[in-house]
Amino acid sequence: MTHEDPPLSGSASLTEPPLPDARAALFLDFDGTLAGLRDDPDAVFLPDGGAAVLSRLSEKLGGALAVISGRGVVDLAKRAPETLWRIGAHGLDVCPPGADPAGAAHQAPPELVETLKQLALAVPGARLEEKGGVLALHYRAAPQAGEALAGAMAEILRDVDGYRLQSGKMVLEAKPFGAHKGRALAAMMEKPPFAGRTPLMIGDDATDEDAIAFAIEAGGDGVKVGPGESRARFRFAGPEDVWRWLEAAAS
């Protein structure tokens, strides 16, 4: 697998970031950041009271708060409040506050969907998740099959124009070239209410590093959630620490 982004370097500090001021633009990953990872992605939701905290903080930041996820935007909209910007499929689908997410959703080629469904069915414990234009093959329940699935998926994608393979935490994703969280942040920072602000990206996975890198290059910062190397200067141990920080920022 090839990747166009520079390799990770360094290790994020255990120091938490300062609370955002009125000039900040806040971008939050969903799975692994706002909610813990689970074998069944359909069972993942914000904690009780979480939607209210995010809405309060968004208002405090003049609306410059977005949840950005690898999930399809229709799926993400079921889990994040409609008062927020919701960015799905790694930045491919952008849904403003109050808008219908169905109007923002892209779709993957039907032939690719069917091929990857058959691949998932051949491996007990594997599961294909359709996320609009992005297709995610989860193997958390079949970790021993990860290497073989990666090889098979790479072979399939060689014949699909406009798609590449992206690996994550026990998941393999078929991603359109336009699905890139870093480019998504760059586009968001050119439009109101984000324009002219300082970006802060908080995320836990490899795809979040693209957005963290952009935020840093744009004069902002990034926060790594959980273990592992990162370009970020700051780190949260897990979603619980993220929520403690968000609640303090919203109060």
Q: Which of 29, 75, 205, 208 is catalytic?
A: 29
Residue 40 is among the residues annotated as catalytic for this protein: no
> What kind and span of H or E run contains 145?
none
Q: How many CB atoms lie within 10 A of CB 107?
A: 10
Give me Rg for the CA atoms of the chain. Answer: 17
Phi-psi region of 229 (alpha: psi -120 to 50; beta: other; left: phi over 0): beta
Give pairs for 50-56: CB < 8 Å, separation 24+.
50/243, 51/80, 51/81, 53/243, 53/246, 53/247, 53/250, 54/28, 54/80, 54/81, 54/83, 54/84, 54/246, 54/250, 55/81, 55/83, 55/84, 56/250
Distance of alpha carbon 169 from alpha carbon 115, whole angstroms: 22
CA-based max dimension of the chain:
51
Structure tokens at 244: 């403690």
Active site residues: 29
